Structure 1
Amino acid sequence: MAALQTLKRCAVSQTGKHTASVIFLHGSGDTGQGLRAWVHDVLAQDMAFEHIRVIYPTAPARPYTPMHGALSHVWFDRYKISHDCPEHLESIEQMCSNLGAIIHDEIRAGVPKHRMVIGGFSMGGAMALHLACRYHQDVAGVFALSSFLNRGSVVYQAVEGATGRPLPELLQCHGTGDELVPLAWGEETSSLLKNVGVTASFHSYPGLNHQLCRPEMELVRSWILKKLPPGSCSGGAP
Protein backbone atom coordinates (compact mmCIF):
# COMPACT_ATOMS: atom_id res chain seq x y z
CA MET A 1 0.00 0.00 0.00
CA ALA A 2 1.23 3.49 -0.83
CA ALA A 3 2.32 5.86 1.92
CA LEU A 4 -0.36 7.80 3.76
CA GLN A 5 -1.19 11.10 2.08
CA THR A 6 -2.33 14.23 3.88
CA LEU A 7 -5.46 15.32 2.05
CA LYS A 8 -6.28 18.92 1.34
CA ARG A 9 -9.54 19.97 2.93
CA CYS A 10 -11.76 22.97 3.52
CA ALA A 11 -14.34 23.25 6.26
CA VAL A 12 -17.41 25.15 7.35
CA SER A 13 -16.77 25.75 11.04
CA GLN A 14 -19.42 25.45 13.70
CA THR A 15 -20.75 28.71 15.11
CA GLY A 16 -20.61 27.49 18.72
CA LYS A 17 -18.91 24.69 20.63
CA HIS A 18 -17.59 21.91 18.40
CA THR A 19 -19.24 18.65 19.51
CA ALA A 20 -19.82 16.80 16.22
CA SER A 21 -18.39 16.51 12.70
CA VAL A 22 -19.51 15.69 9.16
CA ILE A 23 -17.08 14.53 6.46
CA PHE A 24 -18.62 15.24 3.02
CA LEU A 25 -16.85 13.68 0.01
CA HIS A 26 -17.07 15.11 -3.51
CA GLY A 27 -17.74 13.24 -6.73
CA SER A 28 -15.15 12.27 -9.34
CA GLY A 29 -13.29 15.19 -10.91
CA ASP A 30 -14.43 17.68 -8.27
CA THR A 31 -12.69 19.09 -5.16
CA GLY A 32 -13.70 19.75 -1.58
CA GLN A 33 -13.89 23.46 -2.30
CA GLY A 34 -15.99 22.77 -5.39
CA LEU A 35 -18.48 20.64 -3.45
CA ARG A 36 -18.74 23.25 -0.70
CA ALA A 37 -19.50 25.91 -3.32
CA TRP A 38 -22.09 23.65 -5.00
CA VAL A 39 -23.86 22.98 -1.70
CA HIS A 40 -23.81 26.72 -1.01
CA ASP A 41 -25.39 27.42 -4.40
CA VAL A 42 -28.11 24.81 -3.87
CA LEU A 43 -29.01 25.98 -0.36
CA ALA A 44 -28.25 29.68 -0.98
CA GLN A 45 -25.95 29.43 2.05
CA ASP A 46 -23.34 27.14 3.54
CA MET A 47 -24.55 23.95 5.17
CA ALA A 48 -23.63 25.25 8.62
CA PHE A 49 -24.52 24.23 12.16
CA GLU A 50 -24.04 25.62 15.64
CA HIS A 51 -22.18 22.54 16.93
CA ILE A 52 -21.12 20.59 13.81
CA ARG A 53 -18.02 21.17 11.70
CA VAL A 54 -18.52 20.16 8.05
CA ILE A 55 -15.27 19.01 6.39
CA TYR A 56 -14.84 18.81 2.62
CA PRO A 57 -11.65 16.88 1.74
CA THR A 58 -10.17 16.81 -1.77
CA ALA A 59 -9.10 13.55 -3.39
CA PRO A 60 -5.55 13.62 -4.78
CA ALA A 61 -5.18 13.65 -8.56
CA ARG A 62 -4.52 10.15 -9.90
CA PRO A 63 -4.72 8.34 -13.25
CA TYR A 64 -8.36 7.37 -13.83
CA THR A 65 -9.07 4.42 -16.10
CA PRO A 66 -12.51 5.60 -17.38
CA MET A 67 -10.69 8.74 -18.62
CA HIS A 68 -8.02 6.62 -20.39
CA GLY A 69 -5.50 7.24 -17.61
CA ALA A 70 -5.81 11.03 -17.48
CA LEU A 71 -5.28 12.58 -14.06
CA SER A 72 -8.44 13.36 -12.10
CA HIS A 73 -9.40 14.09 -8.50
CA VAL A 74 -10.98 10.72 -7.73
CA TRP A 75 -11.18 8.74 -4.50
CA PHE A 76 -10.31 5.49 -6.22
CA ASP A 77 -9.87 4.02 -9.68
CA ARG A 78 -12.54 2.11 -11.58
CA TYR A 79 -12.19 -0.43 -14.34
CA LYS A 80 -15.33 1.16 -15.80
CA ILE A 81 -18.36 3.09 -14.54
CA SER A 82 -20.65 0.12 -13.97
CA HIS A 83 -22.23 -1.73 -11.07
CA ASP A 84 -21.42 -5.01 -12.79
CA CYS A 85 -17.61 -5.19 -12.61
CA PRO A 86 -14.98 -5.84 -9.90
CA GLU A 87 -13.96 -3.07 -7.51
CA HIS A 88 -10.48 -1.54 -7.73
CA LEU A 89 -9.65 -2.59 -4.19
CA GLU A 90 -6.04 -1.41 -4.07
CA SER A 91 -6.97 2.23 -4.60
CA ILE A 92 -10.02 1.95 -2.31
CA GLU A 93 -7.90 0.57 0.53
CA GLN A 94 -5.34 3.34 0.13
CA MET A 95 -7.99 6.03 0.35
CA CYS A 96 -9.69 4.43 3.35
CA SER A 97 -6.38 4.88 5.17
CA ASN A 98 -5.95 8.47 3.99
CA LEU A 99 -9.49 9.45 4.99
CA GLY A 100 -9.13 7.61 8.27
CA ALA A 101 -6.51 10.19 9.21
CA ILE A 102 -9.19 12.91 9.01
CA ILE A 103 -11.40 10.92 11.36
CA HIS A 104 -8.53 10.60 13.82
CA ASP A 105 -7.87 14.34 13.58
CA GLU A 106 -11.46 14.94 14.67
CA ILE A 107 -11.05 12.47 17.53
CA ARG A 108 -7.96 14.38 18.66
CA ALA A 109 -10.08 17.54 18.55
CA GLY A 110 -12.39 15.93 21.10
CA VAL A 111 -15.13 14.49 18.85
CA PRO A 112 -15.77 10.74 19.30
CA LYS A 113 -16.78 8.66 16.32
CA HIS A 114 -20.38 8.26 17.49
CA ARG A 115 -20.63 12.05 16.97
CA MET A 116 -19.55 11.85 13.31
CA VAL A 117 -21.39 11.35 10.03
CA ILE A 118 -19.65 10.45 6.76
CA GLY A 119 -21.27 11.04 3.38
CA GLY A 120 -20.70 11.90 -0.22
CA PHE A 121 -21.99 12.59 -3.70
CA SER A 122 -21.58 10.03 -6.52
CA MET A 123 -18.14 8.40 -6.13
CA GLY A 124 -17.89 10.20 -2.80
CA GLY A 125 -20.96 8.32 -1.58
CA ALA A 126 -19.43 4.97 -2.52
CA MET A 127 -16.21 5.99 -0.76
CA ALA A 128 -18.22 6.97 2.33
CA LEU A 129 -19.89 3.54 2.36
CA HIS A 130 -16.53 1.76 2.22
CA LEU A 131 -15.10 3.97 4.96
CA ALA A 132 -18.06 3.81 7.35
CA CYS A 133 -19.36 0.29 6.79
CA ARG A 134 -15.99 -1.45 6.71
CA TYR A 135 -13.63 0.52 8.96
CA HIS A 136 -15.63 2.92 11.12
CA GLN A 137 -18.89 1.15 11.89
CA ASP A 138 -19.29 3.15 15.11
CA VAL A 139 -19.96 6.48 13.35
CA ALA A 140 -23.48 7.87 13.75
CA GLY A 141 -24.48 7.52 10.12
CA VAL A 142 -23.54 7.56 6.46
CA PHE A 143 -25.25 9.24 3.50
CA ALA A 144 -24.84 8.51 -0.21
CA LEU A 145 -26.22 10.84 -2.90
CA SER A 146 -26.51 9.63 -6.51
CA SER A 147 -24.22 6.74 -5.57
CA PHE A 148 -23.91 2.99 -5.95
CA LEU A 149 -21.79 0.02 -4.92
CA ASN A 150 -20.61 -2.62 -7.35
CA ARG A 151 -22.33 -5.99 -7.25
CA GLY A 152 -20.31 -8.27 -5.01
CA SER A 153 -18.82 -5.28 -3.18
CA VAL A 154 -16.66 -6.08 -0.17
CA VAL A 155 -18.89 -3.62 1.73
CA TYR A 156 -21.71 -6.18 1.71
CA GLN A 157 -19.34 -8.86 3.02
CA ALA A 158 -18.03 -6.60 5.79
CA VAL A 159 -21.52 -5.65 6.94
CA GLU A 160 -22.76 -9.24 6.85
CA GLY A 161 -19.79 -10.23 9.02
CA ALA A 162 -20.60 -7.57 11.63
CA THR A 163 -23.20 -9.74 13.38
CA GLY A 164 -24.05 -8.37 16.81
CA ARG A 165 -22.29 -5.04 16.27
CA PRO A 166 -24.17 -1.78 15.63
CA LEU A 167 -23.97 -0.43 12.09
CA PRO A 168 -24.25 3.17 10.90
CA GLU A 169 -27.69 4.14 9.61
CA LEU A 170 -27.77 4.93 5.88
CA LEU A 171 -29.55 7.74 4.02
CA GLN A 172 -29.60 7.42 0.23
CA CYS A 173 -30.96 9.95 -2.27
CA HIS A 174 -31.12 9.60 -6.06
CA GLY A 175 -32.62 11.37 -9.05
CA THR A 176 -34.99 9.42 -11.28
CA GLY A 177 -33.49 11.11 -14.35
CA ASP A 178 -29.86 10.23 -13.54
CA GLU A 179 -28.26 8.96 -16.76
CA LEU A 180 -24.70 8.62 -15.42
CA VAL A 181 -25.63 6.55 -12.35
CA PRO A 182 -29.05 5.02 -13.06
CA LEU A 183 -31.64 5.00 -10.31
CA ALA A 184 -31.75 1.19 -10.42
CA TRP A 185 -28.08 1.00 -9.32
CA GLY A 186 -28.81 3.10 -6.25
CA GLU A 187 -31.96 1.13 -5.44
CA GLU A 188 -30.07 -2.15 -5.76
CA THR A 189 -27.35 -0.88 -3.39
CA SER A 190 -29.95 0.13 -0.80
CA SER A 191 -31.76 -3.21 -1.08
CA LEU A 192 -28.60 -5.29 -0.76
CA LEU A 193 -27.41 -3.29 2.25
CA LYS A 194 -30.79 -3.75 3.94
CA ASN A 195 -30.55 -7.49 3.25
CA VAL A 196 -27.30 -7.69 5.25
CA GLY A 197 -28.59 -5.70 8.20
CA VAL A 198 -28.16 -1.99 7.48
CA THR A 199 -31.00 0.33 8.51
CA ALA A 200 -31.44 2.35 5.34
CA SER A 201 -33.86 4.86 3.84
CA PHE A 202 -34.02 5.63 0.12
CA HIS A 203 -35.46 8.84 -1.36
CA SER A 204 -35.90 9.49 -5.09
CA TYR A 205 -36.37 12.89 -6.76
CA PRO A 206 -38.45 12.93 -9.96
CA GLY A 207 -36.59 14.18 -13.02
CA LEU A 208 -33.37 14.98 -11.14
CA ASN A 209 -30.26 14.13 -13.15
CA HIS A 210 -26.79 13.52 -11.68
CA GLN A 211 -27.06 16.60 -9.49
CA LEU A 212 -27.90 17.96 -6.06
CA CYS A 213 -31.20 19.70 -5.41
CA ARG A 214 -32.49 21.85 -2.58
CA PRO A 215 -35.11 19.43 -1.18
CA GLU A 216 -32.46 16.70 -1.10
CA MET A 217 -29.93 18.88 0.72
CA GLU A 218 -32.56 20.09 3.18
CA LEU A 219 -33.36 16.44 3.92
CA VAL A 220 -29.67 15.67 4.40
CA ARG A 221 -29.31 18.63 6.75
CA SER A 222 -32.29 17.60 8.90
CA TRP A 223 -31.10 13.98 8.93
CA ILE A 224 -27.64 15.08 10.10
CA LEU A 225 -29.23 17.04 12.95
CA LYS A 226 -31.25 13.97 13.91
CA LYS A 227 -28.11 11.83 14.02
CA LEU A 228 -25.96 14.54 15.66
CA PRO A 229 -28.22 16.58 17.93
CA PRO A 230 -26.81 19.44 19.98
CA GLY A 231 -25.22 18.36 23.22
CA SER A 232 -22.04 17.12 24.81
CA CYS A 233 -19.70 14.87 22.84
CA SER A 234 -18.56 13.03 25.99
CA GLY A 235 -19.72 9.60 27.07
CA GLY A 236 -20.54 6.43 25.19
CA ALA A 237 -22.48 5.86 22.02
CA PRO A 238 -26.15 6.86 22.16
Structure 2
Amino acid sequence: MTLETIERETGADPGAAIIVMHGLGADGSDFVPICDEIDLSAAGAVRYVFPHAPVRPVTINGGYPMRAWFDVLSFERGQNEDEAGLRESQAAIAELVEHEIARGVPASRIVLMGFSQGCAMTLMTGLRFGQRLAGLVGLSGYLPLADRLAAERSDANADVPVFLAHGTADPVIPFARGELSRDALAALGYPVEWHAYSMVHTVTLNEIRDIERFLQRVLAA
Protein backbone atom coordinates (compact mmCIF):
# COMPACT_ATOMS: atom_id res chain seq x y z
CA MET A 1 0.00 0.00 0.00
CA THR A 2 1.51 3.31 -1.11
CA LEU A 3 0.16 6.36 0.70
CA GLU A 4 -0.66 9.67 -0.93
CA THR A 5 0.86 12.59 0.95
CA ILE A 6 0.95 16.34 1.33
CA GLU A 7 4.39 17.85 1.91
CA ARG A 8 5.53 21.15 3.37
CA GLU A 9 9.16 22.28 3.75
CA THR A 10 10.29 25.09 6.02
CA GLY A 11 13.44 25.68 3.98
CA ALA A 12 15.70 24.29 1.29
CA ASP A 13 17.33 20.87 1.67
CA PRO A 14 15.56 19.75 4.86
CA GLY A 15 17.77 17.89 7.30
CA ALA A 16 14.85 16.66 9.42
CA ALA A 17 11.40 15.23 8.74
CA ILE A 18 8.16 14.95 10.69
CA ILE A 19 5.55 12.48 9.45
CA VAL A 20 2.10 13.34 10.80
CA MET A 21 -0.80 10.85 10.86
CA HIS A 22 -4.36 12.19 11.08
CA GLY A 23 -7.31 10.75 12.97
CA LEU A 24 -10.31 8.70 11.86
CA GLY A 25 -12.31 10.27 9.05
CA ALA A 26 -9.91 13.18 8.50
CA ASP A 27 -7.13 13.38 5.92
CA GLY A 28 -3.56 14.62 5.61
CA SER A 29 -4.62 18.27 5.42
CA ASP A 30 -6.02 18.17 8.94
CA PHE A 31 -2.76 18.97 10.74
CA VAL A 32 -1.16 21.32 8.20
CA PRO A 33 -2.43 24.47 10.00
CA ILE A 34 -1.30 23.15 13.39
CA CYS A 35 2.21 22.39 12.16
CA ASP A 36 2.35 25.89 10.68
CA GLU A 37 2.13 27.14 14.28
CA ILE A 38 5.28 25.25 15.36
CA ASP A 39 8.60 27.11 15.24
CA LEU A 40 11.49 24.75 14.56
CA SER A 41 13.83 27.30 13.00
CA ALA A 42 16.56 26.40 15.49
CA ALA A 43 16.53 22.84 14.13
CA GLY A 44 17.11 23.95 10.55
CA ALA A 45 14.89 23.19 7.57
CA VAL A 46 12.21 20.56 8.24
CA ARG A 47 10.06 18.57 5.84
CA TYR A 48 6.54 17.81 7.07
CA VAL A 49 4.87 14.80 5.46
CA PHE A 50 1.10 14.43 5.91
CA PRO A 51 -0.10 11.07 4.55
CA HIS A 52 -3.73 10.27 3.77
CA ALA A 53 -4.99 7.04 5.31
CA PRO A 54 -6.72 4.66 2.86
CA VAL A 55 -10.52 4.66 2.60
CA ARG A 56 -12.02 1.57 4.23
CA PRO A 57 -15.31 0.53 5.86
CA VAL A 58 -15.34 1.30 9.59
CA THR A 59 -17.42 -1.05 11.72
CA ILE A 60 -18.31 1.39 14.53
CA ASN A 61 -19.71 3.76 11.90
CA GLY A 62 -22.04 1.16 10.45
CA GLY A 63 -19.51 0.04 7.86
CA TYR A 64 -19.46 3.47 6.21
CA PRO A 65 -16.24 3.93 4.18
CA MET A 66 -13.93 6.69 5.37
CA ARG A 67 -10.25 7.38 5.72
CA ALA A 68 -8.97 5.13 8.46
CA TRP A 69 -5.62 3.61 9.34
CA PHE A 70 -7.43 0.50 10.54
CA ASP A 71 -10.96 -0.67 11.22
CA VAL A 72 -12.44 0.12 14.63
CA LEU A 73 -14.56 -2.78 15.84
CA SER A 74 -15.18 -1.43 19.35
CA PHE A 75 -14.10 1.46 21.55
CA GLU A 76 -13.50 -0.95 24.42
CA ARG A 77 -9.83 -1.33 25.36
CA GLY A 78 -8.18 -4.29 23.66
CA GLN A 79 -11.42 -5.64 22.21
CA ASN A 80 -11.14 -7.14 18.71
CA GLU A 81 -8.34 -4.93 17.44
CA ASP A 82 -7.94 -4.93 13.65
CA GLU A 83 -4.47 -6.46 13.65
CA ALA A 84 -4.37 -6.90 9.87
CA GLY A 85 -5.23 -3.24 9.28
CA LEU A 86 -2.77 -2.07 11.92
CA ARG A 87 0.07 -4.06 10.38
CA GLU A 88 -0.81 -2.97 6.84
CA SER A 89 -0.67 0.70 7.84
CA GLN A 90 2.47 0.10 9.89
CA ALA A 91 4.22 -1.18 6.77
CA ALA A 92 2.99 1.77 4.68
CA ILE A 93 4.16 4.34 7.25
CA ALA A 94 7.51 2.57 7.59
CA GLU A 95 7.85 2.99 3.82
CA LEU A 96 7.44 6.74 4.27
CA VAL A 97 10.25 6.72 6.83
CA GLU A 98 12.46 4.72 4.49
CA HIS A 99 11.66 7.20 1.72
CA GLU A 100 12.84 10.09 3.87
CA ILE A 101 16.04 8.21 4.68
CA ALA A 102 16.56 7.62 0.93
CA ARG A 103 16.14 11.37 0.40
CA GLY A 104 19.03 12.04 2.75
CA VAL A 105 17.33 12.58 6.11
CA PRO A 106 18.92 10.36 8.79
CA ALA A 107 16.50 8.19 10.78
CA SER A 108 17.79 9.96 13.90
CA ARG A 109 16.28 13.20 12.53
CA ILE A 110 12.84 11.78 11.76
CA VAL A 111 9.84 12.14 14.07
CA LEU A 112 6.53 10.30 13.84
CA MET A 113 3.51 12.20 15.14
CA GLY A 114 -0.18 11.37 15.17
CA PHE A 115 -3.60 12.19 16.59
CA SER A 116 -6.12 9.57 17.79
CA GLN A 117 -5.83 6.71 15.26
CA GLY A 118 -2.70 8.49 14.06
CA CYS A 119 -1.31 8.28 17.61
CA ALA A 120 -1.91 4.53 17.57
CA MET A 121 -0.04 4.26 14.26
CA THR A 122 2.82 6.44 15.55
CA LEU A 123 3.38 4.06 18.45
CA MET A 124 2.69 0.93 16.39
CA THR A 125 5.27 1.90 13.76
CA GLY A 126 7.87 3.89 15.67
CA LEU A 127 8.44 1.41 18.48
CA ARG A 128 8.99 -1.39 15.97
CA PHE A 129 11.09 0.51 13.41
CA GLY A 130 14.56 -0.94 12.92
CA GLN A 131 16.54 2.32 12.99
CA ARG A 132 16.67 4.85 15.81
CA LEU A 133 14.21 7.70 15.30
CA ALA A 134 14.41 11.17 16.83
CA GLY A 135 11.14 10.90 18.74
CA LEU A 136 7.46 9.96 18.77
CA VAL A 137 4.53 12.30 19.44
CA GLY A 138 1.22 10.65 20.32
CA LEU A 139 -1.85 12.84 20.83
CA SER A 140 -5.21 11.73 22.25
CA GLY A 141 -4.68 8.09 21.32
CA TYR A 142 -3.49 4.81 22.72
CA LEU A 143 -1.00 1.96 22.40
CA PRO A 144 -2.33 -0.70 20.01
CA LEU A 145 -1.54 -4.41 20.30
CA ALA A 146 -0.07 -3.57 23.69
CA ASP A 147 0.43 -7.20 24.66
CA ARG A 148 2.65 -7.76 21.60
CA LEU A 149 5.02 -4.84 22.10
CA ALA A 150 7.50 -6.47 24.47
CA ALA A 151 8.16 -9.25 21.95
CA GLU A 152 8.08 -7.09 18.82
CA ARG A 153 9.72 -3.81 19.81
CA SER A 154 12.93 -2.66 18.17
CA ASP A 155 16.13 -2.54 20.18
CA ALA A 156 17.11 0.52 18.13
CA ASN A 157 14.17 2.48 19.57
CA ALA A 158 14.22 1.04 23.08
CA ASP A 159 14.95 4.50 24.51
CA VAL A 160 13.33 6.73 21.89
CA PRO A 161 11.79 9.87 23.48
CA VAL A 162 7.97 9.65 23.55
CA PHE A 163 5.63 12.63 23.99
CA LEU A 164 2.11 11.58 25.00
CA ALA A 165 -0.79 13.97 25.55
CA HIS A 166 -4.46 13.46 26.33
CA GLY A 167 -7.54 15.44 27.23
CA THR A 168 -9.02 14.78 30.67
CA ALA A 169 -12.55 15.14 29.22
CA ASP A 170 -11.99 13.13 26.02
CA PRO A 171 -15.30 11.40 25.15
CA VAL A 172 -13.85 9.39 22.24
CA ILE A 173 -10.74 7.77 23.70
CA PRO A 174 -11.05 7.96 27.49
CA PHE A 175 -8.32 9.67 29.47
CA ALA A 176 -7.79 6.45 31.43
CA ARG A 177 -6.83 4.65 28.24
CA GLY A 178 -4.16 7.24 27.59
CA GLU A 179 -2.87 6.72 31.12
CA LEU A 180 -2.75 2.95 30.61
CA SER A 181 -0.73 3.45 27.43
CA ARG A 182 1.66 5.77 29.26
CA ASP A 183 2.11 3.24 32.05
CA ALA A 184 2.66 0.34 29.64
CA LEU A 185 5.43 2.24 27.85
CA ALA A 186 7.04 3.37 31.10
CA ALA A 187 7.03 -0.22 32.37
CA LEU A 188 9.10 -1.19 29.32
CA GLY A 189 11.60 1.58 30.03
CA TYR A 190 10.57 4.17 27.43
CA PRO A 191 11.22 7.79 28.46
CA VAL A 192 7.66 9.12 28.30
CA GLU A 193 6.90 12.83 28.58
CA TRP A 194 3.26 12.90 29.68
CA HIS A 195 0.88 15.86 29.37
CA ALA A 196 -2.74 16.07 30.50
CA TYR A 197 -4.93 18.95 29.34
CA SER A 198 -8.39 20.13 30.30
CA MET A 199 -9.90 19.44 26.88
CA VAL A 200 -11.97 16.98 24.84
CA HIS A 201 -10.80 15.08 21.72
CA THR A 202 -8.89 17.97 20.19
CA VAL A 203 -5.62 19.92 20.23
CA THR A 204 -5.04 23.12 22.21
CA LEU A 205 -2.58 25.99 21.90
CA ASN A 206 -0.86 25.03 25.15
CA GLU A 207 -0.40 21.52 23.77
CA ILE A 208 1.10 22.90 20.54
CA ARG A 209 3.62 24.89 22.57
CA ASP A 210 4.58 21.77 24.53
CA ILE A 211 4.95 19.78 21.29
CA GLU A 212 7.12 22.58 19.92
CA ARG A 213 9.47 22.38 22.90
CA PHE A 214 9.70 18.59 22.61
CA LEU A 215 10.46 18.76 18.87
CA GLN A 216 13.05 21.49 19.38
CA ARG A 217 14.81 19.23 21.87
CA VAL A 218 14.79 15.96 19.90
CA LEU A 219 15.66 17.68 16.62
CA ALA A 220 18.37 19.92 18.03
CA ALA A 221 21.07 20.23 15.37
Give the TM-score, by structure 2 length. Answer: 0.91
Matching residue's letter, 1:60: P
Residue 117 (1) aligns with residue 111 (2): yes
- Asked whether 1:51 is paired with 2:45, we answer yes
User: Where does 1:146-165 land on structure 2 (aligned, <5 Å)?
Assistant: 146-150=140-144, 152-159=146-153
Alpha-carbon distance in structure 1 between the residues aligned to 2:91 and 2:144: 20
Distance 1:165 1:109 in 2: 21
Cα distance between partner residues in 2 of 1:226 and 1:200: 14
Among candidates 22, 32, 36, match of residue 26 of structure 1: 22
Unaligned runs of 5+ in 2: none
**Residue type at the aligned position of 2:202:** Q
Alignment match, 2:163 = 171
Structure 1 vs Structure 2 CA RMSD: 1.9
Which letter does structure 1 place at the counterpart of 2:159? L
> Does the 8 A contact of 2:16 with 2:105 survive in 1?
yes
Question: After the TM superposition, which segments of 4 or more aligned residues of structure 1 sit over 4 Å from their partners?
Answer: 162-165
Name whichever of 60-69 and 123-132 sits farther off: 60-69
Report the counterpart of residue 180 of structure 1 in structure 2: 172
Aligned residues: 218
In structure 2, the residue matched to 1:126 is: 120
1:6-30 CA distances to partner (integer Å, 9 max, x unpaired)? 2111122022441111111100100
- Closer/same/farther in 2, CA of residues 165 and 73 from structure 1, 3 Å limit: closer
- Stretches of structure 1 that go unaligned for 5 or more consecutive residues are 231-238
State the 1:179 CA deviation: 1.1
Task: Select 1:210's aligned residue among 201, 207, 212.
Answer: 201
Q: Tell me the residue number matched to 1:234.
A: none
Q: Which secondary structure state, in structure 2, belongs to the residue aligned with residue 30 of structure 1?
A: coil
- Counterpart among 77, 90, 93 of residue 96 in structure 1: 90
TM-score (norm 1): 0.85
In structure 2, what residue type is equivalent to 1:215?
N
Amino acid at match of 1:89: E
CA distances 1:167-226 after superposition (whole Å, capped 9, x unpaired): 3211001111111111110011000111012111111012x0000001101111121111
Task: Please state if 1:191 is matched with 2:183.
Answer: yes
With over 3 angstroms needed to count, the CA separation of the structure-2 counterparts of 1:158 and 1:167, relative to structure 1, is: farther
% same residue: 26
- Distance change >3 Å, CA 209–CA 137, structure 1 → 2: farther
Structure-2 change in CA distance of 1:73 and 1:25 (3 Å): same
CA contact (8 A) 1:83 1:149 kept: no
Deviates more, 1:221-230 or 1:8-17: 8-17
Q: Does the 8 A contact of 1:137 with 1:168 survive in 2?
A: no
Note the alpha carbon deviations across 1:137-177, whole angstroms, 9 max, x for none. 51111111001125744234423xx5686432110011111
